[in-house]
C-alpha cells in the first residue's frame, strides 16, 4: 500500500514477476505528507479487505517521486505506528536521500533515524532501500542496497542473490566512489548546487507560462498542473483527456507521461529538469507553444504555484 501520487512503475516492478497488487490510499499532492495520512491508509486497507486483499506492507518514497518533497519526522513516526499496530512491514525507498538541494521546505529524515521505540514498531518490520542511480547520476551501475534487521528477510535474499549479483565493474566503480570521501562530498555538494539552479530556472519558466506547480526541494523533477489545459470533460474519460493532451505535447517534441503517478486529480504531469539549461528552455518553449495551439479552448487562468507548507 502506498499514498499517491507516487512513482508509477511500482505496479510493474512488483506485479509482473511476483503478482503483488499495489493498493493506493486516496491522498493528494498537498496532504500526503501530513501526519493524518494514516487515516487514508486505514480507509484504503478497509477497502482492500472488502475485496479480499490483505495489505502486508506500506511503501513510501522519501524524498518523494514525483513530488520532490521529504516526509516530516512526525509523519514518519505516525506511519511507523500505523504499521506497528497492524503488524505490517514499512518499506522506505530513500534513493533520492542525498539529492535535497534546499532547506526552504522539510528536509530529509531517514526512517533509520527514528527509533523503534519512538515509532512503536518491531524493528524487523522496517526496511530501507537505496541505490546509486539517482544521487550519483549512475543508473547504469545497477547497484543497490537493502537495510533491514529482519534475519528471515536476509536469508530469503541470500537464497536468490546469487542469480541477481551486480556486475564486477559496477562494484569496483561504486567502491572507488564511496571510499573516496573527499570526492564523494564534493560531488554531492556540486550536484545539489546544480539541482537548485536547475529547479529555479524551470520554475521561473513555469511561472512565465502561467503553469501551477508544487514547490519542491529534492530530486530532479517538479510536479506541474496542466489540468486547465485538458480537453473538456464531456470529450472522454480522465485518462483519455490526459492522453489527448500528452499527444499534443508529443506533436511539439516533448514527452510528459500521462497518468503515470496515479494522481487522483487529472492533469498533473512530472517535468524532469536535470538537463542543460538550453535543453530545458527549448522544452518549456515547446510546451508553451503546444498549450497555445490546442484545438480546444485555452484556459482563462493565471496560476503561479502551490506553496503548501508541510510541517
pLDDT in tens, 38-78: 999 999 999 999 999 999 999 999 999 999 999 999 999 99
β partners of residue 138: none
The C-alpha cell that represents 147 in the structure block: 537495510
Specify the pTM: 0.92
pLDDT in tens, 165-209: 888 999 999 999 999 999 999 999 999 999 999 999 999 999 999
Neighbouring residues of 73: CB distance < 8 A, sequence distance ≥ 6: 109, 113, 114
pLDDT > 80? residue 29? yes
Q: Give the confidence band of 301 by pLDDT, cuts at 50, 70, 90.
A: very low
pLDDT in tens, 121-174: 999 999 999 999 999 999 888 899 999 999 999 999 888 888 888 889 999 999
Q: For 102-116, give one letter per residue: b (16+ CB within 10 A) or e.
A: eeebbebbbbeebee
Q: Which class is domain 185-292?
A: alpha beta
Strand ranges (DSSP E) for the chain? 57-61, 89-93, 126-131, 144-148, 212-214, 221-225, 268-272
Q: Give the confidence band of 306 by pLDDT, cuts at 50, 70, 90.
A: low
Number of neighbours of residue 172 by Cβ within 10 angstroms: 10
Asked whether the CA dihedral 60, 63, 68, 73 is positive or negative, the reply is: positive
The CATH code belonging to domain 10-179 is 3.40.640.10
Distance between CA atoms of 261 and 272, rounded to whole angstroms?
A: 14
Alpha helices in 72-134 (DSSP H): 73-86, 116-119
**Nearest CA to 100 among 224, 216, 223, 270?**
216
Intervals of CATH 3.90.1150.10 along the chain: 185-292
Number of neighbours of residue 271 by Cβ within 10 angstroms: 23
pLDDT > 90? residue 305? no
Phi, psi of 22 (to 5 degrees): -90, 125
Intervals of CATH 3.40.640.10 along the chain: 10-179
- DSSP-derived letter for residue 163 is T
State the chain's mean pLDDT as an integer.
93
Alpha helices in 9-115 (DSSP H): 10-18, 37-50, 73-86
How far, in Å, are 18, 62, 130, 160, 174 from residue 165 at the CA level? 19, 26, 16, 9, 14
- DSSP-derived letter for residue 70 is -
Amino acid at each position: 500500500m502506498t499514498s499517491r501520487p507516487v512513482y508509477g512503475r511500482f505496479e510493474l516492478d512488483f506485479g509482473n514477476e511476483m503478482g503483488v497488487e499495489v493498493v493506493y490510499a486516496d491522498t493528494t499532492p498537498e496532504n500526503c505528507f501530513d501526519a493524518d495520512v494514516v487515516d487514508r491508509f486505514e480507509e484504503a486497507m478497509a477497502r482492500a479487505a472488502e475485496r479480499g486483499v490483505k495489505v502486508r506492507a506500506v511503501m513510501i518514497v522519501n524524498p518523494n517521486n514525483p513530488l520532490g518533497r521529504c516526509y516530516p519526522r512526525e509523519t514518519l513516526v505516525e506511519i511507523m505506528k500505523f504499521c506497528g499496530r497492524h503488524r505490517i512491514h514499512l518499506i522506505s525507498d530513500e534513493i533520492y536521500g542525498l539529492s535535497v538541494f534546499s532547506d526552504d521546505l522539510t528536509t530529509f529524515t531517514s526512517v533509520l533515524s527514528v527509533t523503534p521505540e519512538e515509532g512503536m514498531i518491531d524493528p524487523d518490520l522496517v526496511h530501507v532501500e537505496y541505490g546509486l542511480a539517482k544521487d550519483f547520476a549512475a543508473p547504469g551501475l545497477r547497484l543497490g542496497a537493502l537495510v533491514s534487521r529482519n534475519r528471515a528477510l536476509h536469508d530469503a535474499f541470500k537464497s536468490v542473490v546469487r542469480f541477481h549479483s551486480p556486475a564486477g565493474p559496477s562494484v569496483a566503480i561504486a567502491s572507488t566512489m564511496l571510499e573516496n570521501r573527499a570526492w564523494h562530498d564534493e560531488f554531492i555538494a556540486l550536484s545539489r548546487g546544480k539541482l537548485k539552479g536547475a529547479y529555479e530556472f524551470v520554475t521561473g519558466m513555469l511561472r512565465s507560462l502561467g503553469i501551477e506547480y508544487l514547490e519542491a526541494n529534492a530530486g530532479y523533477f517538479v510536479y506541474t498542473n496542466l489540468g486547465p489545459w485538458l480537453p473538456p470533460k464531456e470529450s472522454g474519460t480522465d485518462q483519455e483527456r490526459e492522453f489527448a493532451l500528452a499527444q499534443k505535447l508529443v506533436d511539439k517534441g516533448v514527452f510528459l507521461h500521462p497518468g503515470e503517478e496515479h494522481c487522483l486529480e487529472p492533469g498533473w504531469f512530472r517535468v524532469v529538469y536535470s538537463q542543460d539549461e538550453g535543453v530545458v528552455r527549448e522544452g518549456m518553449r515547446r510546451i508553451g507553444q503546444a498549450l497555445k495551439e490546442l484545438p480546444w479552448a485555452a484556459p482563462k487562468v493565471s496560476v503561479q504555484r502551490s506553496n503548501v507548507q508541510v510541517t
